[in-house]
Structure 1
Amino acid sequence: MKIENSVALVTGANRGIGLAFAQALLARGARKVYATARDPSSITLPGVEVIQLDVTKPTDIRAAAQLASDVTLLVNNAGIAQPGGFLAPDSDDLTRRIFETNVYGVLNMSKAFAPVLKAHGGGALLNVLSVASWVNDGALAAYSASKSAAWSLTNALRHELASQHTQVLGLHMAYVDTDLTRGIDVPKTSPEDIVQRALDGLEAGADEVLADALTQQIHQGLTAPRPFYLRSQN
Structure 2
Amino acid sequence: MELNNAVAVVTGANRGLGRHLAAQLVERGAKVYAAARRPETVDLPGVIPLRLDVTDEASIREAARIASDATLLINNAGISTGATLIGSDTDEVRQEMETNFFGPLAATRAFAPVIEGNGGGAVLNVLSALSWFHPAGLGSYAASKAAAWALTGATRDELAPRGIAVSALHVGYMDTDMAAEIPADQKIAASDVAAQALHGIETGLPEILADETSRFVKQSLAATPQPSAA
Report the TM-score, using the length of structure 2 for normalisation. Answer: 0.96
Aligned letter for 2:140? A
Task: Determine what percentage of the aligned residue pairs are the same residue.
Answer: 48
2:169 match: 171
Cα distance in 1 for residues equivalent to 2:104 and 2:227 = 30
* Deviation of the 1:84 alpha carbon: 2.6
Paired residues of 1:34 and 1:49 also in contact (CA < 8 A): yes
What secondary structure is seen at the aligned counterpart in 2 of 1:167? Answer: strand
Match of 2:217, SS state, is: helix
Partner secondary structure for residue 124 of structure 1: strand
Aligned to 2:201: 202
Note the alpha carbon deviations across 1:169-200, whole angstroms, 9 max, x for none.
11000000000001123600011111111111
**d(CA) in 1 for partners of 2:102, 2:95:** 10
Partner of 1:180: 178
Aligned-residue CA RMSD (Å): 1.3
Equivalenced residue count is 227
Q: Which residue identity does 1:204 align to in structure 2? A: T
Q: 2:119 aligns with which of 118, 121, 127?
A: 121
Separation in structure 1 between the aligned mates of residue 82 and residue 116 of structure 2, nearest angstrom: 38
Rounded Cα–Cα distance in structure 2 between residues aligned with 1:155 and 1:169? 8
Distance in structure 2 (CA, Å) of the matches to 1:5 and 1:17: 21
Q: Which runs of 5+ in 1 are unaligned?
A: none
> Does the Cα contact within 8 Å between 1:84 and 1:138 map onto a contact in 2?
no
- Please list the CA deviations of residues 11-40 of structure 1 after superposition, one character each: whole Å capped at 9, or x if unmatched: 00000010010011011111x100011111
Are the aligned partners of 1:128 and 1:170 in contact in 2 as well (CA < 8 Å)?
A: yes
1:190 matched to 2:176? The reply is: no
**Structure 1 stretch displaced more, 149-158 or 201-210:** 201-210
Change (3 A) 1:89 1:139: closer
d(CA) in 1 for partners of 2:98, 2:144: 9
**Matching residue's letter, 2:135:** D
Residue in 2 that maps onto 1:57:
56
TM-score (normalizing by structure 1) = 0.94
Deviations 1:126-163 (A, max 9, x none): 00000010011111111110000000000000000011
**What corresponds to 1:130 in structure 2?**
128
Determine the C-alpha separation between the residues in 1 that align with 2:204 and 2:140.
31
Name 2:3's counterpart in structure 1.
3
The within-5 A match list for 1:33-72 is 33-72=32-71
Q: Is the 8 A contact 2:83 2:141 kept in 1?
A: no
Structure 1 SS opposite 2:53? coil
Bigger CA drift: 108-117 or 196-205? 196-205
Task: Give the structure 2 partner of residue 20 of structure 1.
Answer: 20
Of residues 72-81 and 194-203 in structure 1, the stretch that sits farther from structure 2 once superposed is 194-203
Runs of 4+ off more than 3 Å: none
Using a 3 Å threshold, how does the CA distance of structure 1 residues 89 and 162 change in structure 2: closer, same or farther? Answer: closer
CA contact (8 A) 2:83 2:93 kept: no
Matched position secondary structure for 1:9: strand
Q: Give the Å deviation of 1:89.
A: 4.3
Q: 1:123 and 1:48 mapped to 2: Cα distance? A: 19
Provide the C-alpha distance between the structure 2 equivalents of 1:206 and 1:86, rounded to a whole number of angstroms: 32
Quick one: which amino acid aligns to residue 124 of structure 1? A
State the 1:231 CA deviation.
Answer: 7.9
